Chain A
Amino acid sequence: MPGPMKIRATAEAGYTEIRVLMSHPMETGLRKGPDGKPIPAHFIENVTVKVNGKTVVEGQISQAISRNPVFSFRVKGGNKGDKVEISWLDNKGEHNQTEAAVA
């Protein structure tokens, strides 16, 4: 069961500022547990950002990103009330998504 995910989106002059906060262990697979064995890799691989149903960001990320990632994007144009949907998919096939209206 993935942890919380929140979006903050605000309409600015000529662009929309989007900020997304995710909960994810982003385990690299290199870290060793207390038993000395490597903790299996578990990290987000894909992040997709849609505004009003149209994909604006398709991100491929890796284990270099730290735990509980935070991303900020600026999207050209946009208006108050636009629907922002952000989803992620990780290397284990787990996924999460959330949406918010541009404030």
Chain B
Amino acid sequence: MTKTSIYLCLGALAAGLAAAQTAQADPTPMEVRALLHKDFHAQGQATMSRVDQDDLQWLCTVSHNKPSHNRVKQMEAEQHATIVYPADGKYMGDWKKGQKIAESGKGMTWKDKPGAENGGSCYNCHQLSPKEASYGTVGPSLTAMGKKRGDGIEVQKYIYGKIYNSKASNLCSEMPRFGTSHTLTEEQIKDLTAYLLDPASPVNQ
């Protein structure tokens, strides 16, 4: 190498380093994770592994929930593969039990008993029964779901899957993956499906 080209190389390196230093403004997810590992501790059932992101969480974080198209379909398919449908082919349970699950916001926090039955927190984010005034608006209204969509087997399977893992059809949805995360059991998701679709359920009155 000539003297000139060495100086050019060094200059480019210095410029690159300078640019890297001024561009330090945005912490990366890895840096956030490191801070969380430094400043958080396990409590109850909430272990430190909860702050480690999976691929989906990472992608949705860095893209501010608007990931580029070429990754979405593939990752949604991966999410769909996590859905375990009932072996007996039945998707609807008891809507009366489903109502209680929808109303309950308990479970999965460090104050909750590990292994205890968890709620679905549905009313936190959704409107369900038209008679219940205390409902959230983070998610769309689910009132009259059964009336609108009917309770055919295809609709039942769709709703079951949506509760199990909503990110299979909307990758960066704010809705938790209730089945995949082992928050709700198969029986509970069946009861919720019934709460939404059963013509006798308050949701459809």
Q: Does chain A touch chain B in the assembled complex, meaning CB atoms less than 8 Å apart?
A: no
Residues of B that sit less than 8 Å from A by CB:
none
